[in-house]
Amino acid sequence: MFTKLLSALTITILLTTAGFAAEPAKAPAQTGVSAPSPAQAVQAPATGQTPVQAVAAPAPAASAPAPASGVPTKVKPNRAITISMFMGIIGITLCVVVWAARQTKSASDFYTAGGGITGLQNGWAIAGDYMSAASFLGMSGLISLYGIDGFMYAVGPMFSFIAILLVIAEPCRNAGKFTLGDILSFRTSPKPVRAVAALSTVTVSLFYLIAQMVGAGKLMQVLLDIPYRVSVIGVGILMVAYVVFGGMKATTWVQIIKAGLLMSGTVLLAFLVMLKAGLNPVGFFNDIVGNQLIQDHIRLTVLKDAVPKPGFDYGQRFMEPGLFLKNPLDQISLGIAWALGAAGLPHILMRFFTVPSAKEARKSIVIALFINSSFFFLINIIGFGAALYLSPQLISSVDKGGNMATLLLAQLLGGGAGSLGGDMFLAFICAVAFATILAVVSGLVLAASAAIAHDVYVNIIMDGKADQHTQVKVARITSLFVGLAAIVMGLAAEKENVVALVALAFAVAASGNFPAVMLSLFWKRFNTAGVISALLVGTISALGLVVISPVMTYPQKIADDAKKMIVTLEKKQAEGAVLTEKEMKTIEKATVDFKKNDGGTSMVGLKEAIFPLKNPGIVSAPLGLLAAIIGTLLFRDRRAEEMFDEIEVRQITGLGISKASDH
């Protein structure tokens, strides 16, 4: 059985990473390629990263045709309409919380909605838990600026649920109860395993949560001019209310509502794009390849070719890989994190326990896979449509990372800036992005609080002897403190690079949680030492590699780049050229940047990255798996081996699991 599962898993990874390693068919020299920094561009999944603040910048191609008319150079939603839609979503979801609170009485109700969620409902909730604002806004923007490379970012999440479906969904549902710690501690020493599992769960959840909080603050700041701190505190209060009072039932329905709104907005927007293209996909992509603005963007901004290369098709180059994803190892590493990371995310694993049977668990994953795949497929149409009908120049002038592309496109297709249709459609899409953030943060808070309350307090401190009333009380208090911690860290991380946090969350899940869960379910000899080794080595290696990788901010590099800019412009001036006003302002800004950052180091004291890859999955995932195997072989545990037959029967038949509560 283990060999078959390993083979299926290997096929999944190969499918996920195959596209990332592809080389461009006509790639010119890449020495001058300009790609956005991690702080400017959203790296997906599921990366769970959120939109960054819009930065106004002039269009780089002065000789290019003017961008599409009727679209502002800044996203300007109608405040009255947008806030009304926001309040409508908040009102509906709070009604759900009140309804759910009346039915949440036991620990099972709070953590898993009593196991009474159907497969259909759970599938929509999982999709709502996984589809983030980064996917909705960031991936489409990346596609609009870098073409097929952005498409490859959207491919990864489409495969991420295959590992869950083929390998762990049914066994986890049958072997666990509430949390990751329940699965891992079944045939191991419960207290040390639960402690380490809780630490891993909180680590993944908090890093993911901080990124979502920062994104919420930035989104509200850009769209509605609401101060960052007010936005973060407001979102934090809402998510605490959802979880503390409504538990899993409220969180589930908030996620279902969000998923329905998100799919509705995505389908409508993609349909309008294709309608504008005459429902002709071939003509649509031919128009993209032949678009002069796109060709100028690739030539001047991305490839930095001041003079066009004879016979080189810059439009076709937009449809080939290698403009953004240039390092095959980094691409494969990101693919590994996506393929395995989703199967180790605590807030996704927790959803398997909300359904009444393993059959419903499988059904929910199939539904989630279908919804996610449809969503990410449509995101590609939206991204390419934004490039064609808005132009990359306009998109990057509003936000260098392209995060506002979807919003600008919605306003254009709704009738243009200032029109009722444009304002309504833009407000709806903004509200969908807001609901997306609320749903994701609620699931993360619930996962983190469950790990602390159920694993640490109930099973370690109280040795499993706490009554139902006490368990629910502790869970709610824990949720409150997790939410408050998320607000505080979100406020402190306003200027931090959230890409590093998201990369860390998926890498930790893929490197520690996934091998621990997989081997616990399918390897007879796996034991306490193996679980602890996998979780500790996977978590620490992923953390260590991320903080010395290029995704971190290195002040000295900023200073060095500023110095180069100053030297270049001063040399031009010394040769007798008169600098333009823009060039003079560039010197002033570069001088300030140099003085501010010269001699500075990263948060761990480095002047430059030591580890060359942005995502550590290609190194940390094998290390976590290897540590699990070595730890198991060095410290053999007869009890763990003897109990394997019981967990195998449970995961196959579901024998001994608790029945769903009747609500």
Give the pLDDT means over successive 10-residue stretches in the chain (663 positions).
Answer: 45 42 38 33 36 34 42 70 86 88 84 86 88 77 86 70 72 76 85 91 83 78 81 85 85 90 93 94 93 90 79 89 79 81 82 83 87 90 93 85 85 87 88 82 85 88 84 87 87 66 77 90 91 93 87 82 84 82 82 87 83 88 94 90 83 59 37
Contacts of 487 (CB under 8 A, 6+ apart): 213, 232, 233, 236
pLDDT at 645: 85
Distance of CA 344 to the CA centre of its chain: 14
Q: What pLDDT, on the 0 to 100 scale, is given for residue 662?
A: 38
CB-facing half-sphere around the CA of 546: CA atoms within 13 A:
26
CATH superfamily label, 2-23+39-554+601-653? Sodium/glucose cotransporter (1.20.1730.10)
- pLDDT of 275: 94
pLDDT value, residue 111: 83
According to the model, what pLDDT value does residue 31 have?
31
Q: What does the H/E/C string look like for 583-627?
A: HHHHHHHHHHHHHHHCCCCCCCCCCCCCCCCCCCHHHHHHHHHHH
CA distance 546 to 312: 38
CB atoms within 10 A of CB 51: 29
Q: Give the domain ranges of the chain.
A: 2-23+39-554+601-653
- At 390 the three-state DSSP class reads coil
DSSP 70-132: T--SS----HHHHHHHHHHHHHHHHHHHHHHHTT--SHHHHHHGGG---HHHHHHHHHHHH--
Indicate the Cα dihedral angle 27, 28, 29, 33, nearest 10°: -80
Alpha-carbon distance 532 to 4, whole Å? 25
Q: How far apart are CA 164 and CA 620, in angstroms?
A: 20
- DSSP 8-state assignment for residue 487: H
DSSP state of 308: P
Element (H, E) at 382: helix 358-389
pLDDT at position 62 is 36
The pTM of this model reads: 0.78
No. of H helices and E strands in the chain?
29, 0
66 contacts: CB under 8 Å, gap ≥ 6: none
* CB-CB contact of 57 with 352 (8 Å): no
Contact 615, 541 (CB under 8 A): no
Q: DSSP class of residue 345? A: -
Diameter over CA atoms, the chain:
85
- Kindly state the tokens that stand for 297: 């963007």
User: How big is the chain, counted in residues?
Assistant: 663
pLDDT at position 281 is 92
